[in-house]
Amino acid sequence: MRNLILLFSLFTGLTFAQAPYSESQISVSKWIDGSLLIPTSGSNHLAIIIGGSGPTDRDGNQNFLKTNNLKKLAQELALNDIATFRYDKRIVKQIKTNAVDPDIKFDDFVSDAIDVVNYFKTKQNFENIYIIGHSQGSLIGMLAAEQGVNGVISLAGAGQSIDAVVIEQVQNTAPMFTEETKRIFDILRSGNTTTDYPPALGSIFDSSVQEFMMSWMKYDPIIAIKKLDIPILIINGTKDLQVSVTEAETLHKVSEQSELKLIENMNHVLYIIQGDAQENAKSYNDSNKKVSEELIEATVNFIKK
């Protein structure tokens, strides 16, 4: 009995640390599932995190590209008393359920983001709702923000339409295909598809993606950001291999509502890279690195001010 009393007194003397946040799974619509992180202390602020191009899941990962960068971003914001909701793009669920829609369009991603915004506005659990759009998610987020949110963060978002971005990339990496790239985009812009393109451009203009590309290129980030009369924070890293600082500067120049934050040595997957392009590329499949602390600080300050 004495031993039992001693054991009980030891347990009662312990203090158990409370988890800093809770995580719950939410289905917003037929195609959209995500994770809601709420600080244990509660929060009046919700940040909706929208991922980039391709079959990106809620954590920011794709096949052979695993960084968990969006999950880390969400966790860091939760530690700073900001709730977050991040979700799998609809193509992720379609792949998981073996029900891929060959006619998926960029507009579907926009309508999904709008559904998420309206879901949380209807619930009215948060006084302030913000959107954080990464890469392709930047444009999606700006378009969805027209539903009425408190602010938008463009994170590594392009300042040009996708056709202009691709033409610039081809011009920088394979200039001999620049004119062909322009010609094919002219065809798509007219509302037609084509099989007449060089094999070297097959990854860009494969017949399976042309309809999607056509739906994407009709949106101009410049026009989208000009429509927003809310606070906007534009963030870009100086070591981003996919979206240059110039893109962020372009967005900032046309929006009187925006602030511009350039983070030294941050790359496209939100890591700080001290080395060369090889280290930068390797980081796209490194889940051990931390996302930029300067990014977290800028995001928290913007949302809480």
Task: Determine the Cα angle at 75 with ends 72 and 80, to 5°.
Answer: 130
Predicted local distance difference test score (pLDDT) of residue 170: 92
H or E stretch including 133? strand 128-134
- CA distance linking residue 133 with residue 140, whole number of Å: 7
Q: Across-strand partners of 129?
A: 46
Say how far apart CA 161 and CA 258 lie, in whole Å: 19
Distance of CA 24 to the CA centre of its chain: 20
Query: Digits of tens for pLDDT over the chain (305 positions)?
Result: 555 444 444 444 455 567 899 999 999 999 999 999 999 999 999 999 999 998 999 999 998 899 999 999 999 999 999 999 999 999 999 998 888 888 899 999 999 999 999 999 999 899 999 999 999 999 999 999 999 999 999 999 999 999 999 998 899 889 999 999 999 999 999 999 999 999 999 989 999 899 999 999 999 999 999 999 999 999 999 999 999 999 999 999 999 999 999 999 999 999 999 999 999 999 999 999 999 999 999 999 999 98
**pLDDT computed for residue 8 by the predictor:** 46
Cα–Cα distance for residue pair 251/154, rounded to 1 Å: 9
Residue 289: count other Cβ atoms within 10 Å of its Cβ: 17
Cα 260 to Cα 245: distance, rounded to the nearest angstrom: 10
Q: Which candidate, 136, 79, 68, places its Cα nearest to that of 291?
A: 68
Domains delineated in the chain: 20-161+219-304 (3.40.50.1820)
> According to DSSP H, which parts of the chain are helical?
2-12, 69-79, 90-96, 106-123, 136-144, 162-173, 178-189, 202-205, 210-217, 221-226, 245-254, 277-282, 293-304
CA–chain centroid gap for 38, Å, is: 19
pTM reported for the whole predicted model? 0.91
Task: Report which DSSP code applies to 16.
Answer: P
Q: How far is Cα 215 from Cα 278, in angstroms, rounded to an integer?
A: 33
Q: What is the reported pLDDT for 38?
A: 97
